[in-house]
Chains A and B, each alone.
Chain A
Amino acid sequence: MLNIRKSGLQTAVQDLGRIGFQRYGVIASGVMDPFAHRIANLLAGNAENSPTLEIALSGPVIEFEADHFIAVCGGDLSPSLDGKPLAMWRGHFVPKGSVLSFGEPKRGARSYLAVAGGFDLEPVMDSHSTYLRAGIGGFKGRALKNGDSLTTLPVEAARMEALKNQNGQTPDWLIPPARYHEQPIVRMMPGRQYELFDEASRARIFEEPFTVSANSDRMGYRLEGPGLALEKQEELISEAVAFGSVQVPADGNPIVLLADRQTTGGYPKIGQVASVDLPLISQLKPGESLKFRHISADDAQQLYIEQEQQIRQLKIAIQMKREEWT
């Protein structure tokens, strides 16, 4: 059991998204940084799609009412356990009564807390993602509040004992390279309506920096930069959008669609962020900036496949290590 002493700015249960209902207009939701979420789960010995707590900027204070095994991955929001800094990107045994808290957001905007066993929650439309706007899924369809208690599913006693004895021995080579930067280069494919933009806009999108506006949230990041314009204004036929679609409304400022994006959109899409670089955007804070770099759909697909292979290898390595321990 986890007691939420303080909820933080926005702490909510998420998984890899509500897949299969987008044809009814139900948004996917899910984590903003799928990579960090998946690694946190693997380190905690969970399935990659187990729900984690997505923690934004100003983190919560959480008391563990029993022995647990946890991992914190993603943006560095200065996690500490009983006042001592807690190393990220590795598993930790946390004894009953421990208190996890967060401090300054150092790099990145979102952290993921995975607890071995996973949270004991009822799925809604096959998912544990909190869909905040509709008030469904996750924990009571909302972000956590002070005083909430989250129950976890049990972990075998023998396994917990083994994890306890091996605490702190997760080898360093398991830690993925730090990928978050303050001014990242984000690879982007030309979008479905790229050719409809005027020549200057088509060049600027890959040349000039864009700043994340304060009007940004899990639905999308509004970027400010050189204005982008179509060759000629026209109303488009709405069609599907995806995580990372970059649409440009008539005011010329691009919007990168993220986890809580709508399923379809009518604004022209100048680009589509490569999946492997989505965490770089999701981890930006308002006021930080980024630059886009051109990539082809084929190359983006290749990068995606390579990353999936790396995650699979990591998964196997972690499982082998666990078997050695137990």
Chain B
Amino acid sequence: MLGFTFSPLSEQALVIETGTIINKQSEQAVRKLSALLEKQAPDWLTEFIPAFTTVTVFYDPCQIRQAEVEEELRLLGAQVDEVEAPTPRQIEIPVCYGGDFGPDLSFVAEHNGLTPEEVIKIHTSGTYSVHMIGFAPGFPFIGGMSEKIAAPRRKSPRLRIPERTVGIAGMQTGVYPIETPGGWQLIGRTPLRLFVPEQDIPSLLRAGDEIRFTQIDEAEYREQEAKIDAEHP
């Protein structure tokens, strides 16, 4: 619990920061805090949003003031060391790279002095882990990407990015589960559905999952997409 800091996001939300850089330690702390909040949610808690190095706790100010929220979270945080994080699952994400599916593949290549093929090779050779789910339903922020293919966010976000598009922002990579605006560089598309509202946990991926990207061609993409969409028309 040493080193956790607290600051308001709003008059009804408090941010617990577990670290200032993304590393195993701060992420484990986020996962364990989340597990504790799942298990023993205080009455005043309306919900919480875990991220890379933060857990943001939303509360009802009519029931509790900020200073007391902070105090209770400190007590909860003292139990963090006793909690065990669940074992990671392993999931493969097929991607059809470039073309209309990945209009920014050439930008990512040029930005790093590589060919598009080299970008694909690097993107598919890594083992990744899901740091958090956020931004859009089931959207995974995936860590472990090589610095060789890192690229900045767009200066002005795109207004519409098609669902299932795979993108890069900084040293992160991720997939847009539904059509949304966004600022990431787009490199390809997966036939998988990452947002599954029919299920109790409406996200295919969860924080902690281990992931590998594999390359498929457009014909394989079409075939897999049709099969997956037939399951939930």
Chain A interfacial positions (CB closer than 8 Å to B): 19-27, 124-125, 133-134, 136, 189, 192, 215, 219, 235, 237-245, 249-251, 262-267, 272, 274-275, 297-298, 300-301, 303-305, 308
Contact flag A301-B66 (CB < 8 Å), given A27-B136, A266-B153, A274-B11: yes
Interfacial chain A residues near B201, Cβ < 8 Å = 24
B179 contacts chain A at the CB level, 8 A cutoff: yes
5 A-B pairs closest in CB distance: A264-B134, A240-B56, A240-B49, A300-B11, A301-B11
| Cβ contacts A to B, 8 pairs, < 8 Å | A20-B47, A24-B202, A26-B195, A125-B197, A189-B8, A235-B153, A239-B52, A240-B51
Which B residues from 3 to 25 make CB contacts under 8 A with A? 7-13, 15, 21-22
Residue of A nearest to B202 (CB): A24
The distance in angstroms between the C-alpha atoms of A79 and B156, with both chains bound, is: 38
The distance in angstroms between the C-alpha atoms of A263 and B195, with both chains bound, is: 14
Additional pairs, 5, CB under 8 Å, beyond known A26-B138, A237-B51: A133-B178, A242-B10, A242-B56, A244-B10, A275-B11
The distance in angstroms between the C-alpha atoms of A312 and B47, with both chains bound, is: 23
Residue of B nearest to A20 (CB): B47
Give the residue of B15, B49, B52, B157 whose beta carbon is less than 8 angstroms from that of A249. B157
Cross-chain contact A26 with B137 (CB below 8 angstroms):
yes
Interfacial chain B residues near A125, Cβ < 8 Å = 197, 202
Cross-chain contact A235 with B152 (CB below 8 angstroms):
yes
B101 contacts chain A at the CB level, 8 A cutoff: no
Cross-chain contact B56 with A239 (CB below 8 angstroms):
yes
> Which of A23, A219, A251, A265 has the most chain B CB atoms closer than 10 A to its own CB?
A23
Which B residues from 185 to 230 make CB contacts under 8 A with A? 195, 197, 201-203
The count of chain B contact residues (Cβ–Cβ below 8 Å) is 54
Cross-chain contact A25 with B136 (CB below 8 angstroms):
yes
Cross-chain contact B66 with A297 (CB below 8 angstroms):
yes
Residue of B nearest to A133 (CB): B178
The distance in angstroms between the C-alpha atoms of A215 and B135, with both chains bound, is: 19
Cross-chain contact B51 with A192 (CB below 8 angstroms):
no
Give the residue of A244, A262, A275, A304 whose beta carbon is less than 8 angstroms from that of B135. A262
Residue of A nearest to B200 (CB): A125
The distance in angstroms between the C-alpha atoms of A157 and B180, with both chains bound, is: 46
The distance in angstroms between the C-alpha atoms of A312 and B213, with both chains bound, is: 53
The distance in angstroms between the C-alpha atoms of A286 and B49, with both chains bound, is: 31
B61 contacts chain A at the CB level, 8 A cutoff: yes
Give the residue of A25, A239, A240 whose beta carbon is less than 8 angstroms from that of B203. A25
Give the residue of A238, A242, A298 whose beta carbon is less than 8 angstroms from that of B134. A238
Residue of B nearest to A22 (CB): B49
> Which of B10, B34, B197 has the most chain A CB atoms closer than 10 A to its own CB?
B10
B149 contacts chain A at the CB level, 8 A cutoff: no
Cross-chain contact B11 with A189 (CB below 8 angstroms):
yes
Interfacial chain B residues near A192, Cβ < 8 Å = 7, 9, 15
Cross-chain contact B51 with A239 (CB below 8 angstroms):
yes
Contact flag A249-B155 (CB < 8 Å), given A266-B169, A297-B10: yes
Contact flag A262-B180 (CB < 8 Å), given A237-B22, A237-B51: yes
Residue of A nearest to B184 (CB): A266
Cross-chain contact B9 with A264 (CB below 8 angstroms):
no
B159 contacts chain A at the CB level, 8 A cutoff: yes
Cross-chain contact B10 with A308 (CB below 8 angstroms):
no
The distance in angstroms between the C-alpha atoms of A21 and B197, with both chains bound, is: 11
B145 contacts chain A at the CB level, 8 A cutoff: no
The distance in angstroms between the C-alpha atoms of A56 and B9, with both chains bound, is: 29
B16 to chain A, nearest CB (A): 10
The distance in angstroms between the C-alpha atoms of A133 and B159, with both chains bound, is: 12
Interfacial chain A residues near B136, Cβ < 8 Å = 25, 27, 262-263
Cross-chain contact A240 with B54 (CB below 8 angstroms):
yes
Contact flag A136-B47 (CB < 8 Å), given A26-B137, A235-B153, A304-B11: no
B133 contacts chain A at the CB level, 8 A cutoff: yes
Give the residue of B7, B48, B152, B195 whose beta carbon is less than 8 angstroms from that of A134. B195
Interfacial chain B residues near A275, Cβ < 8 Å = 10-12
Cross-chain contact B135 with A23 (CB below 8 angstroms):
no
B207 to chain A, nearest CB (A): 9
Cross-chain contact A25 with B137 (CB below 8 angstroms):
yes
The distance in angstroms between the C-alpha atoms of A240 and B178, with both chains bound, is: 19
Residue of B nearest to A275 (CB): B11
Interfacial chain A residues near B8, Cβ < 8 Å = 189, 272, 297
B50 contacts chain A at the CB level, 8 A cutoff: yes
B147 to chain A, nearest CB (A): 12
Interfacial chain B residues near A26, Cβ < 8 Å = 137-138, 195, 197, 202
